[in-house]
Amino acid sequence: MATQEIDRRPRPDRALSLYEDACRHVRAACRALGVAEGTAQYICRPQRFHEVSIPVRADDGRLLVFAGYRSQHSDALGPCKGGIRFHPAVEGDEVRALALWMTVKCALLGLPLGGAKGGVRCDPGALSGRELEALSRGYVRGLFAELGPDRDVPAPDVYTDARVMAWMLDEYERLAGGSVPGSITGKPLVLGGSALRDEATGRGCALMALSAMDRRGRPARAVRFAVQGFGNAGAATARILHQAGWRLVAASDSQGAVHADGGIDPADLLAFKARYGSAAGYPGAAALPPDEWLALDVDVLVPAALEGAIDEGAAARVRAAVIVEAANGPVTPDADELLFARGVDVVPDVLANAGGVAVSYFEWVQNRSGWYWAPGEVEARLRDLMLSTFDRVDAEQRRAGCTPRQAAYRLALGRLVEALRWRGVAGT
């Protein structure tokens, strides 16, 4: 992790507005469903929110103290589930928003899980391997009483990976005094991880992109697409779409963007980035100004980087027919409505990037049962779950004449509100 490229660029202070955006979608869906205002307010707020201080002794002897967060948004449908991100810009309201979105994703997919999210405000690229391990274990120690396979199950997120999850699992099991593989997902295979977990988000996103273009009718030529954020999810999405015969014509990361009208091989670009640290300078491609990716003449845009990447001003420049949200919250609410009015289909994040939590759920199920599935079985189950959910969202959108995001939220919150009614929550 210490050698990984970290996006340290200044970004707009979107933490509070991300949470407001998430609540705005919830309130709109609740109004459409005839849900009481009090229940909408209850759904917007996390059931529990934790902030801890994590002390780490640096290699040079200094004491470093990091802020760690965990938002357990809802356990109405089952144990909380959600990733942990290590990033310099982690904030409490960002974590609250991401946890709410996780609740919506789990409810939409029909999983017996609620939503959670965690994070540590840090620059993982500036930490040694030993310091990163100490931070990972310290996070678990600080929140141990709140975690567990029947309570809250963490997973990887931005700048965390299987190695970080292995340290967290080991620390949790040390404190628990026994083997508890279902307490953490996104683990290495040898520690009870699931096949295809590393590429699950990208694989699910690619399935949604293919489905969205099938819905519109694919052009006779190869489908042209661009990816903003050529990291884990973006690169996996690009590779799978390339294998399906689509043409990647532009890709970007935090260091720059490249464009080649004749196409870019995602595997070759990923190898170049692994060697040189960035997609910038990729041979055979031209440099692209940072914001020009969204105005390219392509069929599909895949924003897989920062939230708020497409606001109203940017939406007016979009030429693509379909946007597939591999990132969380890349399209603002006002931009979403503008794109819908222009006839642009937006596959919302709560569906497009839900492949990650789907396979995390599969991993949790395998851990609980002690029966592990072959890659082909994981892939088939993921495909069935994602495609059936896409069809339900598509049918609801057509029935209600609303945006795909509104359709997804209505389906998800309908299930969540039903669970709250059965639990006797007042005002539902």
> What residues contact 144, with CB distance under 8 A and at least 6 apart?
172, 175
> What's the rounded Cα separation, in Å, for the pair 85 and 91?
11
Residue of 81, 105, 117, 273 marked catalytic: 117
Reduce the DSSP state of residue 21 to 3 states and report it.
Answer: helix
> For the chain, how are helix, strand and coil distributed in percent, rounded to 5?
50, 20, 30
Tell the burial category of 414 from Cβ atoms under 10 Å away from its Cβ (0-12, 13-18, 19+).
Answer: middle
- Beta strand pairing status for 224-228 and 300-303? parallel
Q: Note if 117 is an active site residue.
A: yes
DSSP assigned state of 331: B
Residue type, 275: R
Q: With contact defined as beta carbons under 8 Å apart, do 248 and 240 qualify?
A: no
Q: With contact defined as beta carbons under 8 Å apart, do 62 and 44 qualify?
A: no
List the beta strands (DSSP E) in 128-234.
152-156, 224-228
Residue corresponding to tokens 């002390």: 55
> What residues contact 1, with CB distance under 8 A and at least 6 apart?
86, 124, 125, 127, 129, 132, 159, 161, 163, 164
Catalytic residues: 117
